[in-house]
Structure 1
Amino acid sequence: MGRPRVPLLSRERIRTAALDLIDRDGLADLSMRKLGAELGVQAASLYGHYPTKDDLLDDIADGITADIDTTFFDTADWRTALMDWARSYRAALVRHPNFVPYLAAGPGAREENLRVADDVYGGLVRAGWPPRTATMIGAAARYVVVGSTVSSFSSGFSDDVTLYDRYPHLKQGAHLLRGRAEEIDSESFELAMGAFVAGLEPRYAALRAGRTSATG
């Protein structure tokens, strides 16, 4: 028998093609019909692997989230672990910015999201943070990560210096931001996360002091 003219479908092949489409055209443009055309098959052929588009998107989300490293909470102090986890989280998201709005919807019932949430929460509680505070720390860090990847602040500026003539402060360098967007966005994220972790330190010290006093 000769080779099939269209390569056999698999969940991995469908998932990869869908993510390539999202990266290229945006999340809103993804449809099963368009994905089928990209793969050289009818849309109906996809439903044997993914009954709905949401099933496909959830599988893509799990694949992206699986790259987020939470092992830092097993080996480092909470400050280092929080920073390194946030960096890993951002790195996973920034590779697929068009997919971030779907990931931002929350953990839901997705396995990998729940794994990450459990590891972060557990690591913070083991470090001595009260459960409620550990939940808020994880949520606040997530706000910083997702906010830093959902859009690029720096690339939103124009290279045309004349646009900023009426703005005395912006005209000094706003036209240069677009060309350095990746650097500025990355360093802005580091600034925000670093300030957040540093801001937690006095609360943690007070918490430890209170426990020491109670023990004494």
Structure 2
Amino acid sequence: MSGKPKAAAAHGAPGDVWFREAKTKGRSKPHLTREKIITAAVELLDAQGVQHLSMRNLAERLQAHATSLYWHVATKDDVLDLALDTVFAEIRLPAGHHASWREDVVTFMTELRRVLLRHPWAAPLANSRPLVGPHALSRSEFVYAALITAGFTGPDLSAAAAAITTYVTGTASSEAVWQQHDEADVRSAVHDHLQTHQTRYPALADHFPLSGGDWTAHFTRGMNFLLDGLSANSPG
């Protein structure tokens, strides 16, 4: 990747913070640092979600004036990008690779799910912006290297990597949404609705689960389906 995306440069788009040079000179608030701001932002996001994050709310949490934040972060999108990359730093990966590329991918997927469920706002956010922070890129590097050993190259490589990440972010988003509510009551209501409209949704009416069951087992089953498909199509 070379240069700064023109769209990001012109509009302050998500991801712009990674291509903009950080300020190194001028007046700054001594008690504030970018690290302190992002730590507070993650805490605020964990407690209240993306919809309640604002520069004013963040400044209040830091006991600072909102304008003092702008020395370190230019926009709310900067804060979200930096907070999301901080979350990716929590993904624990081995220093080296396993003998099996599949074991590497399972490790990544399991860890990514763990971290996203710890921060429920992060999975939907990860699907809405480029993941080009240093921590996200180092995790992507691990996955790409594993898939390359399986023989994937070119468009197949990027499609395989995208399928892996998208499966985890999608399932983590769904699980987080279900668990924000009384899952049993919601499932019961959906079940009753499907029974009422059984002629319109016959397959769903017959098979919609009244219980969410074991979410980890559900995730693992889908992960194995995905990896079986990748294995079957692996050039290696």
TM-score (norm 1): 0.75
For 1:26, the equivalent position in structure 2 comes to: 49
Instruction: From the superposition, tell whether residues 57 and 170 of structure 1 become closer, same or farther in structure 2 (CA, over 3 Å).
Output: same
For 2:227, the equivalent position in structure 1 comes to: 197
For 1:51, the equivalent position in structure 2 comes to: 74
Q: What RMSD in Å do the two structures reach over aligned CA positions?
A: 2.9
Aligned counterpart for 2:218 among listed residues 188, 194, 209: 188
Instruction: From the superposition, tell whether residues 9 and 77 of structure 1 become closer, same or farther in structure 2 (CA, over 3 Å).
Output: same
SS in 1 for 2:74: coil
Whole-angstrom CA distance in 2 between matches of 1:54 and 1:141: 25
- The runs of at least 4 aligned residues of structure 1 exceeding 4 Å deviation read 164-173
> Could you report, residue by residue, the CA deviation over 1:42-66 in whole angstroms, capped at 9, with x for unpaired residues?
1112222223222222221221112
> Could you report, residue by residue, the CA deviation over 1:154-178 in whole angstroms, capped at 9, with x for unpaired residues?
536343797445656689972x54x
In 2, are the aligned partners of 1:62 and 1:110 still within 8 Å (CA)? yes
The alpha-carbon deviation at position 33 of structure 1 amounts to 0.6
In 2, are the aligned partners of 1:73 and 1:123 still within 8 Å (CA)? no
> Could you report, residue by residue, the CA deviation over 1:185-207 in whole angstroms, capped at 9, with x for unpaired residues?
22211111011112223323xx3
- Counterparts of 1:1-216 in structure 2 under 5 Å? 8-71=31-94, 74-152=97-175, 154-155=178-179, 157-159=183-185, 163=189, 164-165=191-192, 174=210, 176-177=211-212, 184-204=214-234, 207-208=235-236
- The structure with the largest alpha-carbon Rg is 1
Whole-angstrom CA distance in 1 between matches of 2:193 and 2:140: 46
More helix by share: 1
Q: How many residues align?
A: 194
The answer for unaligned runs of 5 or more in structure 2 is: 1-29, 196-204
Whole-angstrom CA distance in 1 between matches of 2:115 and 2:56: 28
Instruction: From the superposition, tell whether residues 108 and 51 of structure 1 become closer, same or farther in structure 2 (CA, over 3 Å).
Output: same
In 2, are the aligned partners of 1:78 and 1:127 still within 8 Å (CA)? yes
The alpha-carbon deviation at position 70 of structure 1 amounts to 4.4
TM-score (norm 2): 0.70
